[in-house]
Amino acid sequence: MTKKIEKLFPVLVTTIHRGVFMGWTSDSSGDTIRLVNARLAIYWSSDCKGFMGLAANGPTKSCRIGPPADIEVRAVTSVTDVTPSAVIAWESMPWAE
């Protein structure tokens, strides 16, 4: 019996509760999305140009990004593709005090 390997792709997910998460998923449809290695944007500065800027360019030094976790995000309001350069920025962000 062969095991099906799911292909994950990076997305930025927003919620009705104003949560903004970047993570990896194999299915971005529906009101609930499972994310692997998800990071929460706790604060992003104006130089990011909003949540779509976080998807296009990633967070900057002045942003506060939480540590990664595997999560299920509920009450999804939008799903945005994340560019390869933004993925690098998200994954390299340390927790800033």
Coil/strand/helix, residue 96: coil
Give tens-digit pLDDT for 32-86. Answer: 999 999 999 999 999 999 999 999 999 999 999 999 999 999 999 999 999 999 9
DSSP state of 82: -
- At the second CATH level, the architecture of 9-92 is Roll (2.30)
Q: Report the DSSP pairing between strands 76-81 and 64-65.
A: unpaired
22 burial class (0-12, 13-18, 19+ CB within 10 angstroms)?
buried
Give this prediction's pTM.
0.90
Coil/strand/helix, residue 52: helix
Distance CA 60, CA 74 (A): 26
State residue 82's pLDDT score. Answer: 98
